[in-house]
Every structure is written in C-alpha cells, then in structure tokens.
A and B are shown apart, each in its own frame.
Chain A
Amino acid sequence: DQQVKQNSPSLSVQEGRISILNCDYTNSMFDYFLWYKKYPAEGPTFLISISSIKDKNEDGRFTVFLNKSAKHLSLHIVPSQPGDSAVYFCAAIVNNQGGKLIFGQGTELSVKP
C-alpha cells in the first residue's frame, strides 16, 4: 500500500532549465509534506516543506506546490544546476504521528551541463 508515490524513477534536465519533480498521495489525513535530497552514500537532507494550509512555498531556487484536491505536489527547481543531481524523495506526515514520515520511492534527477 504505497501512500506516497513518485511515478518517475528518473528525470534528466539541461543545466539552466526547470526541473519539475512530481509526487502523488492517497491519504487525505496527510497535513505536512517535505522534500528531501539524497546523494549516494549519504543520508537524506531536508530541502523544503509545505503545510496543507498552503498551496505554495518558495525558498530560493526551490518551490513546492500543493494541490490538495488532486492530492498532488511538485517540486520546481529553477534554474537547475549540475550540483542538483541527486535522488529526491517526497515525504508526507500526519501531524499527530510524530516524525513518522511516509516516503515516496524517489526520483533520480540528472542535470546535464
């Protein structure tokens, strides 16, 4: 029962262009969403988050959009840089369940120079 789904295992983008990573969820009780970035042999690093009361959150080159009616969120990176190449995980949480994050399977982003 995959409650958080990232249907694209990989994405390749040219440097300077926009990267759009997508995430779908099924549990309407999720009220907080996070994106983590992971390099090989390292732990996930927090990138950006959004509460379900918002539909957009922006931090520098990173913007997360939330569409609650569609149960869909996306991470936009613009402009993309080669250092952004990593695996990106979408995660969701029900607020009364502490740090029990439910992760998607990840999308491997490759930014070509």
Chain B
Amino acid sequence: NAGVMQNPRHLVRRRGQEARLRCSPMKGHSHVYWYRQLPEEGLKFMVYLQKENIIDESGMPKERFSAEFPKEGPSILRIQQVVRGDSAAYFCASSNGNEKLFFGSGTQLSVL
C-alpha cells in the first residue's frame, strides 16, 4: 500500500553544491509531477513527466534545474549549483493520467 515515496525528507546543501531529490510514484502510476512550495506560498508547478518523457516543463527555471523519469527507477529532480533562493519544500505527485494527484511528503531543501 505504498503511496508516493520521496527521499530524502530533509536535504542540506551549501551554496554551489548539487541537490538530487528522488520520487517513486504510487504503484500503477506512470505520470509524475514536481511542485515547489516557497515559504508562505502555495505550491507551484514545475514539471510533468511520463516514463522517459518530459511532457510539460513550463514551470522549471531555465537554468540549473532538470528532471528525469527513467524507464527503471525513481524520478529525479536535480538542482545544480544551488543558491539560497532554492530553499523550499519540493513535492512530487503521481497519477494514472487523470486530474487526481497523490502527493508525497516532500523534501525540505535547505541551502546554507
């Protein structure tokens, strides 16, 4: 009965380092979404992936951010050369293609 699994729950990085956030979708789901929540704000869409394909990346910053969802293994959100402004909660969600998204518990990224 595994839901959407994200790890790590907390990630601390120094400025300039790389951050890798992992997400395993709910069993049977092949659609993965990444959202970011900055302090005192709602969740903002970043990217939508379906096995090996990026469907919509309109919410991704143009530089330093990338996402993948390989045929085998979890989806990865990668942030290169992190800056303090990247500190946020990053949530992954999955679905079977309809509008009802199931969210993971998030990864809290702190950049020192």
Contacts and interface: CB of A to CB of B under 8 A. Distances in A.
Interface of A: 4, 6, 32, 34, 36, 41-46, 49, 89, 93, 95, 97-106
A98 to B, nearest CB: 5
B18 to A, nearest CB: 24
Interface of B: 4, 6, 31, 33, 35, 40-45, 48, 55-56, 58-59, 91, 93, 95, 97, 99-106
Contact of B55 (A41, A98, A101): A98
B99 A44 contact: no
A43 B4 CA distance: 10
Contacts of A101: 33, 35, 43, 45, 99, 101
B33 A99 contact: yes
A30 to B, nearest CB: 11
B44 A43 contact: no
B45 A46 contact: no
Interface centre among B33, B99, B103, B106 (most CB of A within 10 A): B99
B4 A99 contact: no
B31 A98 contact: yes
B8 to A, nearest CB: 13
B45 A34 contact: no
B42 A46 contact: no
Contacts of B97: 98
Given A97-B56, A99-B31, A104-B42, 19 more contacts: A34-B99, A34-B100, A41-B105, A41-B106, A43-B93, A43-B106, A44-B43, A44-B91, A46-B100, A46-B102, A49-B99, A49-B100, A89-B42, A93-B99, A95-B99, A98-B48, A100-B59, A101-B99, A102-B45
A103 B58 CA distance: 15
